[in-house]
C-alpha cells in the first residue's frame, strides 16, 4: 500500500467511526437528568419530578407519560411537596444558601423564593397548609416557614444531617431523620436518632435507633398516623469484616416508630437469608394503609410489605425481657457472638471483661437479627432502571424515580395484577461517562456477593457512616473509623494506618475483600474516576464564603511557629501525607504512627481520629494528640476557640 492509500484508509476509518458514535449517542454524553424525588398533584393526574443533575422540575402527565412542563431551578432540586389544596408546589433547591421555591402547581410560575440554610431538603407541609418544615442538612437544623407570610419563623435544632421530615396526622409532631450517628465511635453502642419536634412549642425529643443504625434516608407516616417508618442501614460494625453473608457486615432495615408514645417498636430487616436488599432509600404507604413500599437504591428493587401483617407480627414479639431472662430467652447466636467480641475488645483495652450491659436488641426482642422476619409478608419487585430513590404512591400504583437511568418505574401494587412494572423514559437514554458509571457502580450492591452492601453503604455520598469497622487490611481487633473518600486519590498513602499505598489500591482491595467480588479492571477505573471528581462542599462555618474573623485569627495560629499545625497539615490539602506518632495509639492498635488526614471538610466528618474517639474538634485539640505535646498549655480558651473555628471552616 502506498502512503497515499494508507492516508485515505485512515480517513475513511475515522469517518466511519464518527458515524458509529453519532448513531449510538442518542443522548449527549455526560448530560443527565438525575431524577431523585417525585410527588403527585393532589388530583392524582400529574407527577412533579425533581431532576437533581439537570436542575429542573418536570410536570409529567400520568396518563400520557409525557413531560408537559419543565422549569429550571436556581440550584439542585432535592425535595418536593404539594400544599393540601393542591395549588402550590414547594421545591427545595440545595446550595450553601438554599432556597425553597413556591410554585404555582398548575402553571409552574415561581411565586416566591424563601431563603434557607445550607443544603435544604426533605420539605413537608402541615395538613392545614399553614406551615412548612424543611431540613437544612449541613446546618443540622430545620426551618419552620409560615406560609401566609412566607417567612421563616423558627429554626429548630436537629442532631446531624437531617434529611427528611414527616408530620403526624394530628399535626402535633414533626419527625425528622438524621442521616448519621453523632456519637463517638469507639464504643459498642453507636446509633443515629430520629428527632421529634413538638409543633406547638418547637421543643424536641429524640428516639434512638438500635446500635449500628446509620445512613437514614427515608421516613413516612402510616395513613392512620399511629406509626412512622424509617429506612436505614443496620451496620454490624462490631464484627470483624471477614464475611458479608447473613448481614454480617451491613444489614438493611426498616424501623417502626410508635408516634403517640414516641418510641421505637422494632427494627425489621428487609434482607433475606441469602440475599441482601441493600441501601433502602425512600418509604411510602398506600392511602388505605395496606402496603408499605421501600425503594432499594443498591439492588434496584421495590419492597412491597403487608403493613397490617407486619405490625401484627411485630407487636406480638416479646419486648426486651427482664434482666434475669437475658441469656436464656433472647440470646441467639449472633448476640452471643457480638457480646463475645465486645468483651474481647474490652479486655484488650484493659477494661474489665464484664463492663457494660449485655448486648441490647431492638425494642421487639430479637427482631433486628431475624433475616426471615418478612417471609410471606413482603414481595421484592425487580425494577427496570438503576438507582431507585424517590417514591410516591397514587392509588395502587407506586412511582419510582430511577436516578442513574433517567427513568420512572410504575409498579402495580395489587399482588395479582399482570405486567407489574412499566418503565417510562424521562428523557433520552443517558450515555454514561466513565465518571458517571463509576458513581453508579459505587452505589450498586449488585457488585457485592449476595447484594448485601455497596461502597456507599459505609461511604454515603463518598463520605463516611460515622462508624468504626474492623477491616482486615491492618489485622483484626483494631477498629478504624470510616474515612471520607474526598481527596483520597490526591493524598496517598490511604487508610489511617497508611497500609495502602494509594486510593487506587484501596478501591481494588475494597471490591475484593469488602464486597467479596471479582470485578473487571474497568470497574475500578470508573470508581477511581468518580471519586477523583468529588468536590468539597463549602463549610457551613464560612460567612458569605469567607472565613469569619474568629477563623481568621485561628488561621494565624494554625500557621504560626508557635502552634504549627501546618507542620503536618500544610495547605492546600492540609496533610503532609506522612505518618506521625502523636500519641493517639489506643491499647488495641498495633501501630503508634498514623497517616495525617486532610482537614478539608473536617466539619462534616466527625467523629475524629483513627478510632473516632472525639465528637468535636475542641475535644480533640484540648484532650487529643494533635497539639498536646507542644502548645496545649500555652493556648488560652479564646485561642483554642479560634483555632477550632478555622479548622471547621476548611
Binding site for ligand HEC (CB under 6 A): 241, 249, 453, 455, 457-459, 469, 471, 473-474, 480, 482-483, 485, 488, 494-497, 503, 506-507, 510-511, 514-515, 527, 563-565, 567-569, 580, 582, 584, 594, 596-597, 599, 602, 605, 608-610, 617, 620-621, 626-627, 643, 647
Burial of 473 from C-beta contacts in 10 A (0-12 / 13-18 / 19+): middle
The residues, any chain, with a CB within 8 Å of residue 15's CB and separated by 6 or more, are none
Helix, coil or strand: residue 467: coil
Least distance (Å) from ligand HEC to the CB of residue 54?
27
> Of the two residues 126 and 575, which places its CB atom closer to ligand HEC in the complex?
575
The order of strands in the sheet holding 131-136 is 120-125, 131-136, 141-146, 151-157
> Of the two residues 294 and 448, which places its CB atom closer to ligand HEC in the complex?
448
The residues, any chain, with a CB within 8 Å of residue 466's CB and separated by 6 or more, are 160, 180, 181, 182, 183, 185, 190, 192, 214, 481, 482, 606, 607, 612
- DSSP sequence for 263-311: EEEEEEE-SBTTB----EEEEEE-TTS-EEEEEETTTTEEEEEEHHHHH
- Determine what percent of the chain falls in helix, strand and coil, rounding each to the nearest 5: 25, 30, 45
Looking at residue 167, what DSSP letter applies? E
Tell me: cis bond preceding 607? Omega within 30 of 0 counts.
Answer: yes
Interhelix angle 521-533/503-513, rounded to 10 degrees, is 130
Strand 301-306 and strand 110-115: the pairing is: unpaired
Are 481 and 468 spatial neighbours (Cβ–Cβ below 8 Å)? yes
Least distance (Å) from ligand HEC to the CB of residue 494?
3
> Of the two residues 361 and 563, which places its CB atom closer to ligand HEC in the complex?
563
Are 44 and 393 spatial neighbours (Cβ–Cβ below 8 Å)? no
Q: Which of left, alpha, beta for 44 (phi over 0: left; psi -120 to 50: alpha)? A: left
Residue 4 — φ and ψ, nearest 5°?
-65, -45
> Of the two residues 175 and 620, which places its CB atom closer to ligand HEC in the complex?
620
Least distance (Å) from ligand HEC to the CB of residue 405?
21
> Of the two residues 254 and 447, which places its CB atom closer to ligand HEC in the complex?
447
Q: How many helices (H) and strands (E) does the chain have?
A: 11, 32
Going 164 to 168 to 171 to 176, the CA torsion angle's sign is negative
> Of the two residues 79 and 607, which places its CB atom closer to ligand HEC in the complex?
607
Give the per-residue SS3 of 596-646: CCCCCCHHHCCCECCCCCECCHHHHHHHCHHHHCCCHHHCCHHHHHHHHHH
Q: Rounded to whole angstroms, how far apart are CA atoms 441 and 545?
A: 33
Which helix (H) or strand (E) covers residue 440, if one does?
helix 434-442
Q: Rounded to whole angstroms, how far apart are CA atoms 592 and 313?
A: 50
> Of the two residues 173 and 639, which places its CB atom closer to ligand HEC in the complex?
639
> Of the two residues 46 and 621, which places its CB atom closer to ligand HEC in the complex?
621
Q: CA geometry: angle at 386 spanning 383 and 390, to 5°? A: 80
Query: Nine-digit cell at 189?
Result: 453502642
Query: Nine-digit cell at 531?
Result: 471519586
The order of strands in the sheet holding 407-412 is 388-394, 397-402, 407-412, 421-425
> Of the two residues 207 and 606, which places its CB atom closer to ligand HEC in the complex?
606
Q: Rounded to whole angstroms, how far apart are CA atoms 611 and 591?
A: 13
DSSP alpha helices (H): ranges in 474-571? Answer: 503-513, 521-533, 549-559
Amino acid at each position: 500500500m502506498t502512503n497515499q492509500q494508507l492516508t485515505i484508509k485512515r480517513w475513511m476509518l475515522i469517518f466511519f467511526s464518527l458515524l458509529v458514535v453519532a448513531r449510538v449517542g442518542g443522548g449527549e454524553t455526560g448530560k443527565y437528568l438525575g431524577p431523585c424525588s417525585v410527588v403527585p398533584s393532589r388530583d392524582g393526574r400529574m407527577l412533579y419530578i425533581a431532576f437533581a443533575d439537570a436542575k429542573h422540575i418536570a410536570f409529567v402527565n400520568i396518563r400520557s407519560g409525557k413531560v408537559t412542563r419543565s422549569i429550571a431551578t436556581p440550584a439542585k432540586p432535592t425535595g418536593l411537596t404539594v400544599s393540601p389544596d393542591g395549588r402550590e408546589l414547594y421545591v427545595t433547591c440545595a446550595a450553601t444558601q438554599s432556597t425553597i421555591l413556591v410554585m404555582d402547581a398548575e402553571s409552574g410560575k415561581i411565586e416566591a423564593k424563601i431563603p434557607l440554610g445550607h443544603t435544604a431538603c426533605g420539605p413537608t407541609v402541615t395538613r392545614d397548609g399553614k406551615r412548612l418544615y424543611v431540613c437544612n442538612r449541613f446546618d443540622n437544623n430545620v426551618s419552620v416557614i409560615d406560609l401566609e407570610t412566607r417567612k421563616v419563623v423558627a429554626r429548630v435544632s436537629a442532631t446531624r444531617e437531617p434529611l427528611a421530615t414527616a408530620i403526624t396526622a394530628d399535626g402535633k409532631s414533626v419527625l425528622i431523620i438524621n442521616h448519621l450517628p453523632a456519637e463517638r465511635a469507639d464504643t459498642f453502642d453507636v446509633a443515629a436518632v430520629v428527632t421529634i419536634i413538638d409543633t406547638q412549642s418547637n421543643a424536641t425529643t429524640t428516639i434512638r435507633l438500635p446500635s449500628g443504625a446509620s445512613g437514614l434516608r427515608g421516613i413516612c407516616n402510616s395513613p392512620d398516623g399511629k406509626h412512622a417508618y424509617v429506612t436505614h442501614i443496620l451496620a454490624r460494625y462490631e464484627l470483624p469484616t471477614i464475611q458479608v453473608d447473613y448481614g454480617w457486615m451491613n444489614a438493611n432495615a426498616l424501623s417502626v416508630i410508635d408516634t403517640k408514645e414516641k418510641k421505637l417498636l422494632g427494627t425489621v430487616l428487609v434482607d433475606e437469608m441469602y440475599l441482601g436488599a441493600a441501601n433502602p432509600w425512600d418509604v411510602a404507604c398506600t392511602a388505605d394503609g395496606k402496603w408499605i413500599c421501600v425503594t432499594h437504591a443498591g439492588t434496584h428493587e421495590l419492597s412491597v410489605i403487608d403493613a397490617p401483617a407486619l405490625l401484627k407480627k411485630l407487636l406480638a414479639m416479646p419486648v426486651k425481657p427482664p434482666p434475669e431472662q437475658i441469656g436464656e430467652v433472647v440470646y441467639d447466636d449472633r448476640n452471643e457472638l457480638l457480646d463475645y467480641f465486645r468483651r474481647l475488645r474490652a479486655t484488650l483495652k484493659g477494661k474489665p471483661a464484664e463492663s457494660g450491659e449485655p448486648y441490647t436488641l431492638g425494642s421487639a426482642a430479637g427482631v433486628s437479627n431475624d433475616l426471615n422476619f418478612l417471609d410471606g409478608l413482603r414481595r421484592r419487585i425487580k425494577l427496570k432502571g438503576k438507582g431507585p430513590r424517590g417514591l410516591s404512591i397514587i392509588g395502587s400504583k407506586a412511582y419510582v424515580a430511577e436516578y442513574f437511568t433517567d427513568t420512572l418505574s410504575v409498579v402495580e401494587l395489587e399482588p395479582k395484577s399482570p405486567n407489574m412494572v412499566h418503565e417510562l423514559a424521562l428523557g433520552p437514554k443517558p450515555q454514561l461517562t466513565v465518571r458517571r458509571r463509576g458513581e453508579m457502580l459505587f452505589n450498586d450492591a449488585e457488585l457485592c456477593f449476595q447484594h448485601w452492601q455497596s461502597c456507599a453503604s459505609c461511604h454515603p455520598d463518598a463520605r463516611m457512616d460515622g462508624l468504626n469497622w474492623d477491616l482486615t487490611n491492618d489485622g483484626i481487633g483494631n477498629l478504624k473509623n470510616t474515612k471520607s473518600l474526598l481527596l483520597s486519590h490526591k493524598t496517598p498513602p490511604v487508610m489511617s494506618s497508611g497500609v495502602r499505598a494509594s486510593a487506587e489500591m484501596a478501591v481494588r482491595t475494597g471490591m475484593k475483600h469488602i464486597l467479596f467480588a471479582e470485578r473487571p479492571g474497568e470497574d475500578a477505573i470508573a470508581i477511581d474516576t468518580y471519586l477523583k471528581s468529588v468536590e468539597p462542599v463549602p463549610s457551613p462555618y464560612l460567612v458569605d464564603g469567607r472565613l469569619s474573623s474568629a477563623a481568621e485569627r485561628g488561621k494565624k495560629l494554625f500557621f504560626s511557629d508557635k502552634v504549627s499545625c501546618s507542620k503536618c497539615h500544610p495547605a492546600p490539602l492540609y496533610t503532609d501525607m506522612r505518618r506521625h506518632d502523636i500519641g493517639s495509639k489506643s491499647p488495641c492498635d498495633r501501630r503508634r504512627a498514623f497517616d495525617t488526614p486532610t482537614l478539608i471538610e473536617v466539619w462534616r466528618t466527625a467523629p475524629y481520629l483513627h478510632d473516632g474517639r472525639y465528637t468535636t474538634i475542641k475535644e480533640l485539640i484540648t484532650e487529643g494528640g494533635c497539639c498536646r505535646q507542644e502548645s496545649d498549655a500555652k493556648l488560652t480558651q479564646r485561642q483554642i476557640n479560634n483555632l477550632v473555628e478555622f479548622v471547621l471552616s476548611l
